[in-house]
């Protein structure tokens, strides 16, 4: 089945000089070359592992256009970065967990070559995850835009006071709220920041959008699940603006009167999992369900 994946890109954990990460990238690259595959890496990974004439250094756009499979070695943050950059290219992604949590990087690092070999042999599960698109409008002017796999967050930023905004769904006014902000999450993101704010868990096969207020001024404002084709608009009101984040990265500042518009993207991210992958098993393991408490 190597004919399906002839060129493979390796994307390493960003902002890390850990010798373990560099060693894992080098080991996997040697394994892939041993199977007769061409291996590419992105520039930041190249900086981490150092010069290697056997690897082609390529930008994300070049990887998206020229590669058959991308393997991400890192944590969920590294996968989020890769997914946003490669989502428009329909490139399948595999995640090797070199981080802490590993909701999105489900191949154990100590089984890396074995599990990647199984995927190369065609023994994998394919899964598509939805993305969100956000636009900032200032009157009739389109100011900025972005994309997220986990969530889009309108927050108060570094200021110590709440922000105020008016929420509409599909053009219909829902409520005005004073709070620390609001999370708009995909099913994938329902187990991330939204979960820590008491939002619901949505199975990835659901096509919904979750709204989770952040520390609302009134306790009656509860998380809300919307249809997948909903258009969410947040108009910043009150006396101060806010900040918009995509997957935890600051995207742009929202001034008073600005409108933040969020919709489900027509694009999606494709993950390849090992054959024995189970979403419910991931929940049990990462959230420690059914784990007996430690008794002193």
Q: Which two tokens stand for residue 190?
A: 């329902």
Confidence band, pLDDT 50/70/90 cuts, at residue 147: very high
Q: Given this chain, do its domains 7-122 and 131-266 carry the same CATH topology?
A: no
Instruction: Say how far apart CA 179 and CA 218 lie, in whole Å.
Output: 9
Whether the per-residue pLDDT at 2 is higher than 70: the answer is no
Q: What is the pLDDT of residue 15?
A: 59
Taking 90 as the threshold, does the pLDDT of residue 27 lie above it?
yes
What average pLDDT does range 155-182 have in this prediction?
93
pLDDT tens-digit map of 37-67:
999 999 988 887 877 878 999 999 999 999 9
Catalytic pick among 2, 3, 42, 76: 76
Superfamily of the domain at 131-266: Probable inorganic polyphosphate/atp-NAD kinase; domain 2 (2.60.200.30)
Q: Is the pLDDT assigned to residue 13 strictly greater than 90? A: no
Count of Cβ atoms closer than 10 Å to residue 93 Cβ: 22
| Higher-confidence position of 13 and 294 | 13
At the fourth CATH level, the homologous superfamily of domain 7-122 is Probable inorganic polyphosphate/atp-NAD kinase; domain 1 (3.40.50.10330)
d(C-alpha 105, C-alpha 123), whole Å? 17
* Domain boundaries defined on the chain: 7-122, 131-266
Task: Encode pLDDT of 245-279 as tens digits.
Answer: 999 987 899 999 999 999 999 999 999 999 999 99
**Residue-by-residue DSSP string for 190-221:** GGTHHHHTTPPP--TT---EEEEEES-SSTT-
**Tokens read off for 100:** 């802490």
Alpha helices in the chain (DSSP H): 19-34, 43-49, 60-66, 76-86, 112-120, 193-196, 279-286
Confidence grade of residue 290 (pLDDT, cut at 50, 70, 90): confident
**Average pLDDT of the chain, as a whole number:** 91
Catalytic (active site) residue 76: yes
């Amino acid at each position: 089945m190597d004919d399906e994946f002839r060129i493979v890109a390796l994307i390493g954990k960003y902002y890390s000089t850990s010798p373990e990460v560099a060693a894992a990238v080098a080991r996997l690259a040697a394994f892939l070359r041993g199977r007769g595959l061409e291996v590419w890496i992105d520039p930041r990974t190249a900086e981490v592992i150092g010069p290697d004439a056997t690897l082609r250094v390529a930008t994300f756009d070049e990887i998206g256009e020229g590669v058959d499979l991308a393997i991400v070695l890192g944590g969920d943050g590294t996968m989020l970065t890769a997914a946003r950059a490669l989502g428009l290219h329909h490139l399948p992604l595999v995640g090797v967990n070199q981080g802490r949590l590993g909701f999105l990087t489900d191949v154990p690092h100590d089984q890396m070559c074995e599990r990647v070999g199984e995927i190369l042999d065609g023994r994998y599960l394919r899964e598509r995850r939805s993305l969100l698109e956000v636009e900032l409008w200032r009157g009739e002017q389109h100011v900025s835009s972005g994309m997220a796999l986990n969530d889009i967050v309108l927050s108060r930023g570094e200021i110590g006071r709440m922000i105020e905004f008016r929420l509409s769904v599909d053009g219909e006014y829902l409520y005005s709220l004073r709070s620390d902000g609001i999370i708009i999450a995909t099913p994938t993101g329902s187990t991330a920041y939204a979960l820590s704010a008491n939002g619901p868990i949505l199975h990835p096969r659901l096509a919904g959008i979750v709204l989770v207020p952040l520390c609302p001024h009134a306790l009656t404002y509860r998380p809300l699940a919307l249809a997948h084709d909903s258009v969410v608009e947040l108009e910043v009101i009150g006396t101060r603006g806010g900040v918009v984040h995509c997957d935890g990265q600051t995207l742009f500042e929202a001034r008073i009167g600005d409108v933040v518009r969020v919709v489900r993207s027509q694009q999606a991210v494709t993950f390849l999992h090992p054959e024995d992958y189970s979403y419910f098993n991931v929940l049990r393991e990462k959230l420690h369900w059914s784990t007996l408490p430690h008794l002193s």
